[in-house]
Amino acid sequence: MKYVTSFIGAAALAVASFNASAATVSAGGVVWDEVANGGVLGNFNFQQWYSTTAYGVGSQGQQTITSNTAVPILTPNAHLNGIGVFTSLNDGRLVFGNQYCAGEVSCALTFAFGGLKVASLTPGEFIFDTSAAWLNVYFQSPAIATAVNNSSNNNYNNQFANVQNGTLWASFAFDSAILRAQALTGSGGFFEAMLSVTGGLPDVVAALDRQNGMSDIYINTQAAFGTNGNYSSGGSGRVELIPAPASIALLGLGLLGLAGARRFKKA
């Protein structure tokens, strides 16, 4: 099993930057403003649930969610699943909205994740075993309307098949994951994770795999259980590019709280 110590989301924010005239990056059918290490790459909505259902295998060998059947969080051998859609990518060029499609009439980046198992419980904190955890991002063009427009609904889990319909844009492995929850029953809280890109479209991998063998992205989410049965509600989050080692050294590991939290990619 792989365990992770606590790390602080403010690390990435401490070195985040914004530049309205930044160069653009075009990869895998979408475009975004170039993001410095530590900057916010994008925002997303999602829904998650715990399950004991086995995963399937997609057309490119990736793991897939095959059912939206949910179980209580403390069910033996349950793993955390989820699906979602990116609502925006970093874009300082548009004032009234974010359109990340690169010349497409309709497109979307959707995603599914799974394999996160609770490894240890302490009051207010869940630490996950990430050894079998994964996240896959899909490019859809044209976008499937129900997979994109219903992401804030309590029954969004019904879209698990549609969300996984598209070109495999990027695959990630979880290097670490922790949930800071209000109670051991998982009623709600903040989820933090570090991930490494492991596959996908070559130009996407080239754009995101910038850390030379270490974690590439950091995600920070919030969602609540308890008002929608065994499914979460109100799930939203963002993706940040992890600061380069040189940036961390300049700010100090004590300030960033990243000591011991970074993990090498799985071999």
Q: Are 171 and 197 in contact (CB under 8 A)?
A: yes
Q: Does residue 265 lie within any of the structural domains?
A: no
Q: Does residue 262 lie within any of the structural domains?
A: no
Q: Does residue 267 lie within any of the structural domains?
A: no
Looking at residue 117, its pLDDT comes to 93
Q: Does residue 3 lie within any of the structural domains?
A: no
Token pair for 251: 């700010």
3-state SS, one letter per residue, for the chain: CCCCCCCCCHHHHHCCCCCCCCCEEEECCEEEECCCCCCEEEEEEEEEEEECCCCEECCCCCEECCCCCCECCCCCCCEEEEEEEEEEECCCCCCCCCCCECCCCCCEEEEEEEEEEEEEEECCEEEEECCCCEEEEEEECCCCHHHHHCCCCCCHHHHHHHHCCCEEEEEEEEEEEEEEECCCCCCEEEEEEEEEEEEECHHHHHHHCCCCCECCEEEEEEEECCCCCCECEEEEEEEEECCCHHHHHHHCHHHHCCCCCCCECCC
Looking at residue 68, its pLDDT comes to 96
Which range marks the domain in which residue 59 is found? 10-256
Q: Does residue 139 lie within any of the structural domains?
A: yes
Looking at residue 183, its pLDDT comes to 64
Whole-prediction pTM value? 0.81
Q: Does residue 264 lie within any of the structural domains?
A: no
Overall domain count for the chain: 1
Q: Does residue 5 lie within any of the structural domains?
A: no
Strand 233-241 with 125-129, pairing: unpaired
**Tens of pLDDT, residue by residue, the chain (267 residues):** 333 333 334 333 333 333 444 688 899 999 888 876 667 889 999 999 999 999 999 999 999 999 999 998 889 999 999 999 999 888 765 544 557 887 666 799 999 999 999 888 777 788 899 999 999 999 999 999 999 988 888 999 999 999 999 999 999 999 999 988 766 555 667 899 999 999 999 999 999 997 777 899 999 998 887 777 899 988 999 999 886 554 443 333 333 343 344 444 444
Token pair for 41: 């790459």
Q: Does residue 164 lie within any of the structural domains?
A: yes
